[in-house]
């Protein structure tokens, strides 16, 4: 009875004392109006300079064939986005961090484009190895059917290979970390085979697999498998003994230990492995698509380079970077759901 009275009395005492309410550890103050205005103004000024450089500096050594101007419409679109984002920042204050992220991207892109345009207009750089920004943008307008088909083929190959490699890596990592018997018999061979670069397996993959598509799946899966496996094994092996003993004391058998203690405790390491392997998988994707496939971004880059159309090479490289950002963002969303309990404990 006394303990019940104590529990009810403590909140009342805290209220009477006027103690401040708890603040969420990950709470971040919203950017001020001044910061928003400065970033919006800087974005507008920089992109007006891009427009001025592109349209006011005469082209040195211009030929009779005038290429289409795609940079001016793109710069005007950026200005519209900058002004619309400024309005969003005032109408929806909770979106200010996202608006600042947009401004950061646009400011850096504009700062890169200004010297690029100056060098191109004054003929300091020579085509075709350093194409104009307008020609790169034009690829997305003129050659979008081939680009979209290449993206579809690349993502199909990437998803299949990456999922297979990740599932295999997580399974092997759990087995190595959980079973001492499996670890004793397998760890040496995993450490011997795993560090071999996936590209070293290309000659064997071409011979063993019936098509370049299946060979590409194997290479991407192999590149993804080793980092995921090692970090999963590290996470499982690093589960505190006290945690396992406490669960066993409460009556948990091996299956429950694995499902409710070991796997949740190892998940942070698993996601680190997934992030690390993703970059390698994207690099191997391009290499795999240069082995004779008939579609994909790697094929597109090789084909464009063969015809000295380097503006298409740069356009495809930017698409690869954008796809990587999309996939990483998706994995972050999954991590946020799976590791929601870490918010407020670790800084993400």
In this prediction, residue 166 carries a pLDDT of 93
- What pLDDT does residue 104 have? 94
The share of the chain scoring above pLDDT 70, in percent, equals 87
Residues facing residue 283 across a β-bridge: none
* Mean pLDDT, residues 71-77 taken together: 93
Confidence of residue 19 (pLDDT cuts 50, 70, 90): very low
Return the pLDDT at 336.
82
Is the CATH number 1.10.3720.10 carried by domain 144-342? yes
Q: Which is more confidently placed, 53 or 11?
A: 53
The mean pLDDT value for 289-304 works out to 84
pTM flag (> 0.75)? yes
Q: Could you tell me which residues are beta bridge partners of residue 343? A: 346
Contact 209, 215 (CB under 8 A): yes
Maximum mean pLDDT: which of 8-22, 48-62, 129-143, 152-166: 152-166
Which residue spans of the chain are classified as CATH 1.10.3720.10?
A: 144-342
Q: Is the pLDDT at 237 greater than 90, yes or no?
A: no
Across residues 94-111, what is the average pLDDT?
Answer: 92
- Using pLDDT thresholds of 50, 70 and 90, give the confidence band for residue 107: very high
Beta carbons of 75 and 51 less than 8 angstroms apart: yes
Residue 197 has pLDDT above 70, yes or no: yes
Residue 64 is given by DSSP the state: S
CA distances from 325 to 251, 279, 330, 334 (A): 44, 10, 9, 14
């Amino acid at each position: 009875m006394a303990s019940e009275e104590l529990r009810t009395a403590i909140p009342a005492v805290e209220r009477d004392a006027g103690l401040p309410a708890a603040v969420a550890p990950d709470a971040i103050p919203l950017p001020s109006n001044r910061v928003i205005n400065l970033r919006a103004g800087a974005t507008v000024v920089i992109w007006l300079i891009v427009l001025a450089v592109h349209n006011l500096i005469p082209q040195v050594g211009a030929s009779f064939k005038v290429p289409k101007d795609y940079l001016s419409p793109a710069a005007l679109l950026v200005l519209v986005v900058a002004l619309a984002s400024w309005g969003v920042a005032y109408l929806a204050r909770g979106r200010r961090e996202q608006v600042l992220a947009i401004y950061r991207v646009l400011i850096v892109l504009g700062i890169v484009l200004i010297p690029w345009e100056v060098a191109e207009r004054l003929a300091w750089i020579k085509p075709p190895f350093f194409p104009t920004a307008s020609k790169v943008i034009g690829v997305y307008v003129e050659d979008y059917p081939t680009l979209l088909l290449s993206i579809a083929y690349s993502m199909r190959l990437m998803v299949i290979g990456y999922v297979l490699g990740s599932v295999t890596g997580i399974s092997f990592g759990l087995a190595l970390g959980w079973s001492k018997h499996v670890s004793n018999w397998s760890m040496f061979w995993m450490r011997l085979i795993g560090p071999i670069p996936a590209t070293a397996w290309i000659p064997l993959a071409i011979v063993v697999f019936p098509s370049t598509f299946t060979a590409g799946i194997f290479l991407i899966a192999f590149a993804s498998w080793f980092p995921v496996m090692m970090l999963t094994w590290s996470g499982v092996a690093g589960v505190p003994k006290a945690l396992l003993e406490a669960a066993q004391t409460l009556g948990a058998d091996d299956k429950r230990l694995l499902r409710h203690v070991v796997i949740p405790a190892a998940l942070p390491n698993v996601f680190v492995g997934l992030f690390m392997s993703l970059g390698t998988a994207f690099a191997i994707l391009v290499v795999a698509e240069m082995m004779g496939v008939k579609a994909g971004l790697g094929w597109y880059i090789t084909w464009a380079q063969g015809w000295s159309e380097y503006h298409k090479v740069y356009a495809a490289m930017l698409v690869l970077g954008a796809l990587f950002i999309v996939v990483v963002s998706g994995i972050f969303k999954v991590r946020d759901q799976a590791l929601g309990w870490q918010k407020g404990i670790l800084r993400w």
